[in-house]
Amino acid sequence: MPKIALGAASSVSLYKALEVLRGFQKAGCQVQPILTPNAAKLVSPLLFSTLSGRKTIVETFDDGQAWSVAHIALAKEIDLLVVAPATANVIAKFAGGIADDFLSTFFLAVEKPVLIAPAMNEAMWHDPQTRLNAERLRARGIEFVEPEAGYLACGDAGHGRLAEPETIVAAGLAILGRAKSLAGKRVLVTAGPTREAIDPVRFLSNRSSGKMGYAVAAEAIRRGAEVTLISGPTAIESPAAAEFVRVVSAADMAKAVLDRVGKADVLVMAAAVADFTVTRPAKAKIKKGAGSPSLALVPTVDILKAAAARPGRRFVVGFAAETGDLRKNARAKLKAKSLDLIVANDVSVEGRGFDADWNKALILDAGGGEIETPVLAKAELARRLWDIIESHAAKKR
């Protein structure tokens, strides 16, 4: 039985949280209610306890007990945290890491998926700081059920009304459904740039941050896959992959990928591999007094092409970083490298693609199909990509 923690904050729409609770129960989930102290002034926690059959948690030190341990235990136990309604204050606390009541403390301890359904006045929802807070949470993989338009408790009509309980329940169940969709699958993901040494202190590289590949790996882990993440040098903390391999050069990455690809069910090559390497890197630091040096470059192995050509049935996904002719260039790469899918993005747009939290992609498949996404948080793009990979891989089998 899936276990859900349902957090609710002090909005007039709080009564709808009871319907959300009932909706999850009807779908066979166990629900642990959590109210913020202000929410508990609007509605009796007893009502939530009676419906859920579990004591509603409000304060961090309820009953004189140290909930500092209870919130960790509960965080491990649940499959999903749903916060409905979430106020601007709760969203700000989550985004800023403030832990001054049970719900916000619990949020920090939760490593499972989180779904947030905001409810507030339209001006508050569109406030630049609230937007920024929500964007920060989205960039971390947290999903939102957008508020709807309609009459608000303050008498205004606008965007900010809590989504309908059935919409929230459906979004929560969709997350739970994905939780095991890649169970038993071995997934190989590459991420980040490579570095090609010029001398012991200098190298050739590119602007890739690794964020997209890490988001792809994190989503596969969330879906239950056994993930190997092969990463070039990045500044990001690695997700809890079954295997994490750090590499530096294109040659290191080629070896790491080709050694493992035979066992992979899916390969997603999100790394920005250097196309050229320095023929003979200098053994000692090149001194500026020695005149203008010239670099002799040789092409690196095309890892993706080599991996796709290996025998065995697997689903192979490449990326294409382009600065023009996106569709044409990406389709040519898909064909030349015998890929199942290619995720193309225009890296010439500031704030998207390389070294950004956001991306907009054109996803092409081998059958001629294509999907163009809007600008999305990389975590959201990773979710959509896995939905597409799963549906295409099912057809390929």
Q: Is 29 in the active site?
A: no
Nearer to ligand CTP, 216 or 304 (CB): 304
Helices and strands of the chain, counted as H and E runs: 14, 21
Report the residue from 11, 300, 345, 359 that binds ligand CTP according to the rule CB under 6 A: 300
- Residue 153 Cβ, how far from ligand CTP at the closest point, in Å? 50
- Residue 283 Cβ, how far from ligand CTP at the closest point, in Å? 25
Q: Report the site for ligand CTP in 141-170 (rule: CB under 6 A).
A: none
- Identify whether the C-beta of residue 297 lies closer than 8 Å to the C-beta of residue 277: yes
- Residue 231 Cβ, how far from ligand CTP at the closest point, in Å? 12
- Identify whether the C-beta of residue 217 lies closer than 8 Å to the C-beta of residue 202: no
Q: Is 269 in the site for ligand CTP (CB under 6 A)?
A: yes
Report the residue from 187, 256, 273, 364 that binds ligand CTP according to the rule CB under 6 A: 273
Q: Is 303 in the site for ligand CTP (CB under 6 A)?
A: yes
Q: Is 308 in the site for ligand CTP (CB under 6 A)?
A: no
Binding part of the chain for ligand CTP, among 42-50, 103-111, 142-150, 313-321 by CB under 6 A, reads 313-321
Q: Is 250 in the site for ligand CTP (CB under 6 A)?
A: yes
- Which residues, other chains included, contact 98 with Cβ-Cβ below 8 Å and sequence gap of 6+? 92, 104
Report the residue from 168, 221, 321, 356 that binds ligand CTP according to the rule CB under 6 A: 321
Binding part of the chain for ligand CTP, among 41-49, 102-110, 173-181, 315-323 by CB under 6 A, reads 315-323
Report the residue from 318, 331, 353, 361 that binds ligand CTP according to the rule CB under 6 A: 318
Would you give the binding string for ligand CTP spanning residues 326-365, x where CB under 6 A is met? Answer: -------x--------------------------------
Q: Which long-range contacts (CB under 8 A, 24 or more apart) does 86-90 make?
A: 86/7, 86/9, 86/116, 86/117, 86/118, 86/119, 87/9, 87/10, 87/11, 87/118, 87/119, 87/120, 88/118, 88/120, 88/124, 88/125, 88/127, 88/130, 88/133, 89/9, 90/7, 90/9, 90/36
Structure tokens at 162: 């809590």
- Residue 256 Cβ, how far from ligand CTP at the closest point, in Å? 12
Report the residue from 203, 319, 354, 358 that binds ligand CTP according to the rule CB under 6 A: 319
Among 27, 42, 70, 154, which one carries the catalytic annotation?
Answer: 154
Closest CA to 141 of 385, 382, 386, 390: 382
Closest CA to 364 of 329, 313, 324: 329
Closest CA to 330 of 346, 316, 314: 346
| Residue recorded with tokens 């996404």 | 373
Nearer to ligand CTP, 173 or 271 (CB): 271
Q: How large is the angle between the packed helices 14-26 and 165-178, nearest 10 degrees?
A: 40
Binding part of the chain for ligand CTP, among 82-90, 96-104, 144-152, 317-325 by CB under 6 A, reads 317-325
Q: Is 135 in the site for ligand CTP (CB under 6 A)?
A: no
- In angstroms, the Cα distances linking 9 to 13, 83, 93, 203, 272 are 9, 8, 12, 51, 43
Closest CA to 123 of 147, 103, 94, 144: 147
What's the gap between Cα 383 and its chain centre? 7
For residue 214, count CB atoms less than 10 angstroms from its CB and return exposed for 0-12, middle for 13-18, buried for 19 or more: buried
Phi, psi for 321 (deg, rounded to 5): -100, 115
Report the residue from 99, 241, 271, 361 that binds ligand CTP according to the rule CB under 6 A: 271
Nearer to ligand CTP, 143 or 340 (CB): 340
- Which residues, other chains included, contact 32 with Cβ-Cβ below 8 Å and sequence gap of 6+? 3, 4, 5, 6, 52, 54, 57, 74, 78
Binding part of the chain for ligand CTP, among 71-79, 114-122, 229-237, 295-303 by CB under 6 A, reads 295-303
Nearer to ligand CTP, 191 or 393 (CB): 191
Beta bridge partners of 322: 346
- Other beta carbons within 10 Å of 294: 6
Binding part of the chain for ligand CTP, among 6-14, 54-62, 77-85, 319-327 by CB under 6 A, reads 319-327
- Residue 207 Cβ, how far from ligand CTP at the closest point, in Å? 12
- Residue 121 Cβ, how far from ligand CTP at the closest point, in Å? 45
Q: Catalytic amino acids?
A: 154
Residues near ligand CTP (CB under 6 A): 250, 269, 271, 273, 275, 300, 302-304, 318-321, 333
